[in-house]
Chains A and B, each alone.
Chain A
Amino acid sequence: MSGQARAEKQTSAKAAPSKQTKAVPKVDVPPEQLAYANLLLYCSWAGIGMLAVTFLIYMSGFFSPFIPASEMPMYWGMSAHEFLVETGAPIGWGWLGMLGYGDFVNLLGIAFLALLTIVGYLVLLLPAYLRKKDIAYASIVVVEILVLTLAASGVLAVGAH
């Protein structure tokens, strides 16, 4: 058994939800790190649950989809650019205006997961490092928030292929 596989095994055991309540830290863990861990603990599983529920809604046809699931095989072999041109699906945050459709409602769970890091940085880590007057890490957190916000904003253009 390689060292990395062994380390993965032990870290996987630490990461397993059933073990999380038993993982009593025997070392000093910074409070902001614990707070961030708790945010991820509750919100990541909530996001994954949201994905599963919205997907069931999509498959059940409870909300009519923008593109019926049965027609997706005509599109999933296209590039993302061709898909957008063929279907007229929105880019960027345009999907927020399409939440009445069963397929677009799935993006809520994905966006929730993708927003967690930004929220955690902004609400927990930045105030914590500012309180500690840890300018280096406060700066890293601010720049990371800007980078992630830029990525999330949808302003970054991608050329078609």
Chain B
Amino acid sequence: MLDGLILKATMLVEMANSSQAAVAVTEATGTGLPWWAWPAMLLVTCFVLGIVAVMAGVGGGVLFVPIVGSFYPFHLDFVRGAGLIVALAGALAAGPGLLKANLANLRLALPVALIASTFSIVGAIVGLALPTDILQIALGVTITLIAILFIFSKNSEFPKVGEPDSVTKALKIGGSYYEPSAGKAVDWTVWRTPQGFFLFIAIGMVAGMFGLGAGWANVPVLNLLMGAPLKIAVGSSKFLLSITDTSAAWVYMNQGAVLPIIAVPSVVGIMIGSLVGVKLLAGAKPAFVRKLVIGMLLFAGIRSLLKGLGY
């Protein structure tokens, strides 16, 4: 069996290095790099993105799609498909800790996730049907706007919440979590729920269309509009991505837009990077990393925009 494996490995190396097919595919990328260099570089890139994302307090998906989409030879369809799998895997792995600490709350996340996941299907269908250059332009504009949102958004740790609306009361949205800084459990509820639900229609569309994890949009809506404490907004946002991205991921997968050679190194790289990032958090300078991320997003957004415009 070992002999068989070695033989197959030797054949693969032969194929990669000397066959006409290998030469043809090396030329196809237009870079002179052998085929295996791309998934290897993707793994390393995603490892770094995973570290940076954790330190900057953003999801990996929002960095993955614009950066890989702009600097790798992969079609945007496959990058978006991989982006959804990256965001899905990250959200699923983060979910247990958040749910157990009640930082992700099912009474808040379930109705919101239903809206976002429904419309992420619509976004995925539209995204896969749109011409690539239009999509590239729209992605460039969206990423640039996200970078600007990161610059100007000011979240509130404990927003002031007015009288809960009838939807909040009917769904009994609220809960409590342990706040270490106060040394006690903090009770919370939300308000302006119908307006928040309405905005999740757009968030779902954007998530599905561009394959982005939508934490960058979830958190401001949950926190600033609906009044959820920041930790609840962040925790519930991460968890609900596991539901929002599931529906869009299925659409991409069913349409052949998930290539394992792109998706798997990306997921593995980001997951390992996130684990390392959590370990490095204590010694990090988050303000600097956040500025770095904003710079990366602006650069990738503008590059995507120019690529879509044919420059």
Residue positions of A touching B, CB distance < 8 A? 1-17, 19-20, 23, 25-30, 32-34, 36-38, 40-41, 43-45, 47-48, 51-52, 54-55, 58, 60-62, 68-74, 76-81, 83-84, 89-93, 103, 106-107, 109-111, 113-114, 116-118, 125, 136-137, 140-141, 143-144, 147-148, 150-152, 154, 156, 158-161
Distance from A125 Cβ to chain B, minimum over Cβ atoms (Å) = 8
The listed residue (B28, B113, B260, B278) touching A73 by CB distance below 8 A is: B28
Structural contact, A4 and B219, CB atoms closer than 8 A: yes
Judged by a CB distance under 8 angstroms, whether B306 is at the interface is no
Can you report 27 A-B residue pairs in the complex whose CB atoms are below 8 A from each other? Answer: A5-B287, A11-B234, A12-B281, A13-B278, A20-B100, A25-B102, A32-B106, A47-B89, A54-B260, A55-B260, A58-B260, A62-B5, A69-B39, A69-B261, A70-B21, A70-B36, A83-B77, A90-B256, A91-B254, A107-B258, A110-B253, A140-B114, A144-B117, A147-B118, A147-B247, A152-B254, A159-B128
The listed residue (A5, A81, A89, A148) touching B286 by CB distance below 8 A is: A5
Structural contact, B73 and A151, CB atoms closer than 8 A: no
Structural contact, B8 and A47, CB atoms closer than 8 A: no
Structural contact, A7 and B231, CB atoms closer than 8 A: yes
Judged by a CB distance under 8 angstroms, whether B225 is at the interface is no
Structural contact, A29 and B99, CB atoms closer than 8 A: yes
* Residues of chain A contacted by B275 (CB below 8 angstroms): 16-17
Structural contact, A33 and B21, CB atoms closer than 8 A: no
Using A9-B281, A38-B96, A40-B92 as known contacts, say yes or no to A158 and B247 having CB atoms under 8 A apart.
no
CA distance A48 to B235 in the complex (A): 21
Residue positions of B touching A, CB distance < 8 A? 5, 8-9, 11-12, 15-16, 19, 21-22, 24-26, 28-29, 35-36, 38-39, 54, 56-58, 73-75, 77-78, 81, 85, 88-89, 92-103, 105-107, 110-111, 113-114, 117-118, 121, 124-125, 128-132, 153-157, 170-171, 175-178, 185, 219, 223, 230-231, 233-235, 238, 242-243, 246-265, 267-268, 271, 274-275, 277-278, 281, 286-287, 290
Structural contact, B253 and A107, CB atoms closer than 8 A: yes
Distance from A143 Cβ to chain B, minimum over Cβ atoms (Å) = 6
* Residues of chain B contacted by A156 (CB below 8 angstroms): 121, 125, 251, 254
CA distance A27 to B185 in the complex (A): 7
Structural contact, A40 and B242, CB atoms closer than 8 A: yes
The residue on B at minimum CB distance from A141 is B110
Distance from B19 Cβ to chain A, minimum over Cβ atoms (Å) = 8
CA distance A154 to B243 in the complex (A): 17
CA distance A107 to B248 in the complex (A): 16
* Extra contacts besides A89-B256, A113-B85 (11): CB < 8 Å: A4-B57, A7-B155, A69-B36, A76-B73, A76-B78, A77-B28, A80-B77, A80-B255, A114-B246, A116-B242, A156-B125
Closest 4 CB pairs of A and B: A8-B57, A106-B260, A5-B57, A44-B92
Using A33-B99, A61-B12, A143-B114 as known contacts, say yes or no to A44 and B89 having CB atoms under 8 A apart.
yes
The residue on A at minimum CB distance from B242 is A117
CA distance A45 to B132 in the complex (A): 34
CA distance A23 to B13 in the complex (A): 47
CA distance A3 to B97 in the complex (A): 20
Structural contact, A70 and B100, CB atoms closer than 8 A: no
* Residues of chain B contacted by A47 (CB below 8 angstroms): 89, 92
Distance from B127 Cβ to chain A, minimum over Cβ atoms (Å) = 9
Structural contact, B21 and A3, CB atoms closer than 8 A: no
Structural contact, B128 and A17, CB atoms closer than 8 A: no
* Residues of chain B contacted by A137 (CB below 8 angstroms): 106-107, 110, 171
* Residues of chain A contacted by B56 (CB below 8 angstroms): 5
Distance from A105 Cβ to chain B, minimum over Cβ atoms (Å) = 9
Using A41-B96, A60-B5, A62-B8 as known contacts, say yes or no to A74 and B25 having CB atoms under 8 A apart.
yes
Structural contact, B100 and A12, CB atoms closer than 8 A: no
CA distance A81 to B252 in the complex (A): 11
Structural contact, B121 and A150, CB atoms closer than 8 A: yes
Using A33-B106, A70-B16 as known contacts, say yes or no to A27 and B129 having CB atoms under 8 A apart.
no
* Residues of chain A contacted by B121 (CB below 8 angstroms): 147, 150-151, 156
Structural contact, A3 and B230, CB atoms closer than 8 A: yes
Structural contact, B75 and A77, CB atoms closer than 8 A: yes
CA distance A111 to B96 in the complex (A): 20
* Residues of chain A contacted by B25 (CB below 8 angstroms): 70-74
* Residues of chain B contacted by A148 (CB below 8 angstroms): 117, 243, 246-247, 250
